Chains A and B, each alone.
Chain A
Amino acid sequence: AQKVTQAQTEISVVEKEDVTLDCVYETRDTTYYLFWYKQPPSGELVFLIRRNSFDEQNEISGRYSWNFQKSTSSFNFTITASQVVDSAVYVCALSGNSGGYQKVTFGIGTKLQVIP
């Protein structure tokens, strides 16, 4: 069975602070993909990143960076110099080869509030 745990339910930071959102996963699949989605107040989840289990290289995209560590089964997401527009729910997800990659398991999400 797959499981995605986002232990932080809500985080508040002041604008321009850095913030890290944690994601820990469990899977028995040998190959899997990890995702982060952003869910703004409008409700529509927006894809941010996909990571293959064989690629542990960290990725940076502007103010966003992701740290994938297979040894700790974690895929953490850091926002540098946070802005009010970053306020949203961020959801971590996992899909594995045993389900043909079609069955995606989502975490409960972390609600980030950036205070001006």
Chain B
Amino acid sequence: GAGVSQSPSNKVTEKGKDVELRCDPISGHTALYWYRQSLGQGLEFLIYFQGNSAPDKSGLPSDRFSAERTGGSVSTLTIQRTQQEDSAVYLCASSSGQLNTGELFFGEGSRLTVL
């Protein structure tokens, strides 16, 4: 597609349920990032992929969070046993390579509400 696509755009779930958020990056972009944006907070780095591997998972808040990327393209962020504090907008971004020569292209985000 022309831009980074994320789905669902909105997700309401009950506490304790698992959720999957999907990101479809710009075709050909090797780097993919997940960020979380909570109300009144800046973007919080979660994980970064280069191809299918994740050199930096340091931002994942707990072991309930996991992410994978397959075929160097689509990525899925999974949150198990959701908690109310997981409520946020989850943003995905992709780039063609090093950020010293490129930029991040963001999707519109997936808004997660945990009741």
Interface residues of A (CB under 8 A from B): 4, 31, 33, 35, 37, 42-47, 50, 52, 91, 93, 95, 99-109
Count contacts between A and B, CB distance < 8 Å: 62
Q: Pick out which of these stretches binds chain A: B14-22, B64-72, B99-107.
A: B99-107
A45 to B4, CA, bound (A): 11
- Report the bound CA distance from A43 to B41 in whole Å: 14
Whether A106 lies near B99 (C-beta < 8 A) is no
Report B32 CB to chain A, min CB distance, Å. Answer: 11
Which residues 1-46 of B sit at the A interface, judged by CB distance below 8 A?
3, 31, 33, 35, 40-43, 45
- A45 to B33, alpha carbons, bound, how many Å? 13
List the 10 closest pairs (A to B, CB-CB), nearest first: A108-B42, A106-B43, A45-B106, A47-B103, A101-B99, A44-B108, A101-B100, A106-B42, A43-B108, A43-B109
CA distance A44 to B105 in the complex (A): 9
Inter-chain contact B56/A104, CB cutoff 8 Å: no
Please determine whether B106 and A44 come into contact, CB atoms closer than 8 angstroms: yes
The residues of A that contact B62 with a CB separation of less than 8 Å are: none
**Which A residues lie within 8 Å of B45 (CB)?**
103-105
Q: In the complex, what distance in Å separates the CA atom of A93 from the CA atom of B33?
A: 15
In the bound complex, how far is the Cα of B101 from the Cα of A100, in angstroms? 12
Which residues of the other chain, B, contact A99 by a CB distance below 8 angstroms?
Answer: 56
Give the residues in chain B near A33, CB-CB below 8 Å: 99-100
Expressed in whole angstroms, the minimum distance between the Cβ of B79 and any Cβ of chain A is 19
Residues in B with CB closer than 8 Å to A107 are 42
Besides the contacts A47-B103, A105-B45, what 16 more A-B pairs have beta carbons closer than 8 Å?
A: A4-B42, A42-B108, A43-B109, A44-B108, A47-B105, A50-B99, A52-B100, A91-B42, A93-B43, A95-B100, A99-B56, A102-B56, A103-B45, A104-B99, A106-B42, A107-B42
A31 CA / B98 CA spacing, docked (Å): 14
| Chain A residues closer than 8 Å to B91, beta-carbon distance | 43, 45
Considering the chains assembled together, what is the distance between the CA atoms of A46 and B89 in angstroms? 16
- Residue on A with the closest CB to B38? A108
The smallest beta-carbon distance between B103 and chain A, in angstroms, is: 4
Is A95 in contact with B99, judged by CB distance below 8 angstroms? yes
